[in-house]
Chains A and B, each alone.
Chain A
Amino acid sequence: MHDPAIPFTRFLDPDGRPCAALPPCADDAELLERLYRQMVLTRLFDQKAVALQRTGRIGTFAQGLGQEAIGVALGAALRPDDVLVPYYRDTGVQLMRGARMEEVLLYWGGDERGSAFADPLAREDFPICVPIATQALHACGVAAAMRIRDQHRAVATTCGDGATSKGDFLEALNVAGAWQLPVVFIINNNQWAISVPRSLQCGAPTLAQKAVGAGIPGEQVDGNDVLAVYTRIQAALERARQGKGPTLIECLSYRLSDHTTADDASRYRPNEEVSAAWAREPIKRLQAFLASRGNWNEQREQDLIEHCQAQLQLAVERFERIGEPDPDQVFEHLYQRWPTPLAEQREQMRERVARRGGQAHE
Chain B
Amino acid sequence: MSDKTYSLVEAVNLALARAMADDENVVVLGEDVGVNGGVFRATLGLRERFGRKRVIDTPLAETMLGGLAVGMAAQGLKPVVEIQFMGFIYAAMEHLVSHASRLRNRTRGRLSCPLVMRTPMGAGIRAPEHHSESTEALFAHIPGLRVVVPSSPARAYGLLLAAIDDPDPVLFLEPTRLYRMNPQPLQDDGQRLPLDSCFTLREGQDLTLVSWGASVHETLQAAARLAEQGVEAEVIDVACLKPLDLDTLEASLRKTGRCVIVHEAPRSGGLGGEIAASLYERAWLDLRAPIQRVTAPDIPPPLYRLEQLYLPGVEDILAACETVLDYA
Residues of chain A having any CB pair with chain B under 8 Å: 83, 85, 112-113, 115-117, 123-124, 126-127, 130-131, 134, 136-148, 167-168, 171-172, 174-175, 178, 329, 332-337, 339-342, 344
CB within 8 A of A137: which of B64, B75, B195, B196? B64
Asked if B59 contacts A174 (CB within 8 A), the reply is yes
Asked if A340 contacts B105 (CB within 8 A), the reply is no
Chain A residue at minimal CB-CB distance from B61: A171
Asked if B67 contacts A141 (CB within 8 A), the reply is yes
Chain A interface: which of B93-101, B127-135, B256-264, B307-315? B93-101
Asked if B68 contacts A140 (CB within 8 A), the reply is yes
Asked if B63 contacts A115 (CB within 8 A), the reply is no
Chain A residue at minimal CB-CB distance from B104: A333
Asked if B243 contacts A143 (CB within 8 A), the reply is no
> What count of chain B residues pass the 8 Å CB interface test?
49
User: Which positions 58-77 of chain B face chain A at CB distance < 8 Å?
Assistant: 58-59, 61, 63-64, 66-77
Instruction: Return 17 A-B CB contacts under 8 Å, by A number.
Output: A83-B75, A116-B107, A124-B74, A134-B98, A134-B99, A137-B66, A141-B67, A141-B70, A142-B72, A145-B75, A145-B76, A148-B54, A168-B63, A175-B58, A175-B59, A333-B108, A336-B112
CA distance A146 to B27 in the complex (A): 13
Write the nearest CB–CB distance from B34 to chain A, whole angstroms.
13
CA distance A333 to B108 in the complex (A): 6
CB within 8 A of B108: which of A83, A139, A168, A329? A329
CA distance A134 to B96 in the complex (A): 11
Q: Which residues of A contact B146 (CB under 8 A)?
A: 335, 339
Asked if A171 contacts B196 (CB within 8 A), the reply is no
Asked if A145 contacts B71 (CB within 8 A), the reply is yes
Chain B residue at minimal CB-CB distance from A177: B59
Write the nearest CB–CB distance from B59 to chain A, whole angstroms.
5
Asked if B64 contacts A172 (CB within 8 A), the reply is yes
Asked if B94 contacts A174 (CB within 8 A), the reply is no
CB within 8 A of B64: which of A85, A112, A140? A140
Residues of chain B having any CB pair with chain A under 8 Å: 27, 53-54, 56, 58-59, 61, 63-64, 66-77, 79, 91, 94-95, 98-99, 104-112, 143-144, 146, 166-168, 195-196, 243-247
Q: Which residues of B contact A123 (CB under 8 A)?
A: 110
Q: 10 tightest CB-CB pairs across the interface, nearest first?
A: A141-B71, A137-B67, A145-B75, A341-B243, A171-B64, A138-B71, A116-B108, A336-B167, A141-B68, A142-B71
Q: Which residues of A contact B54 (CB under 8 A)?
A: 148
CA distance A172 to B112 in the complex (A): 21
CB within 8 A of B63: which of A112, A145, A167? A167
CA distance A342 to B195 in the complex (A): 13
Write the nearest CB–CB distance from B212 to chain A, whole angstroms.
15
Known pairs A116-B110, A141-B71, A148-B53 / 20 extra A-B pairs, C-beta < 8 Å: A112-B106, A115-B106, A123-B110, A134-B67, A137-B64, A138-B99, A140-B67, A141-B68, A142-B75, A144-B72, A145-B72, A145-B77, A168-B64, A175-B58, A332-B109, A333-B108, A334-B104, A335-B167, A335-B168, A337-B167
CB within 8 A of A141: which of B63, B75, B98, B107? B75
Write the nearest CB–CB distance from B217 to chain A, whole angstroms.
25
CA distance A139 to B245 in the complex (A): 36
CA distance A117 to B73 in the complex (A): 19
Q: Which residues of B contact A333 (CB under 8 A)?
A: 104-105, 107-109
Q: Which residues of A contact B108 (CB under 8 A)?
A: 112-113, 115-116, 329, 333
Q: Which residues of B contact A341 (CB under 8 A)?
A: 196, 243-247
Q: Which residues of A contact B99 (CB under 8 A)?
A: 131, 134, 138
Q: Which residues of A contact B74 (CB under 8 A)?
A: 124, 126, 138, 141-142
CA distance A297 to B53 in the complex (A): 55
Q: Which residues of B contact A131 (CB under 8 A)?
A: 94, 98-99
Given contacts A137-B95, A174-B61, A335-B168, are A116 and B70 in contact (CB under 8 A)? no
Q: Which residues of B contact A344 (CB under 8 A)?
A: 246
Chain B residue at minimal CB-CB distance from A142: B71
Q: Which residues of A contact B59 (CB under 8 A)?
A: 171, 174-175, 178
Asked if A141 contacts B73 (CB within 8 A), the reply is yes
Q: Which residues of B contact A329 (CB under 8 A)?
A: 108
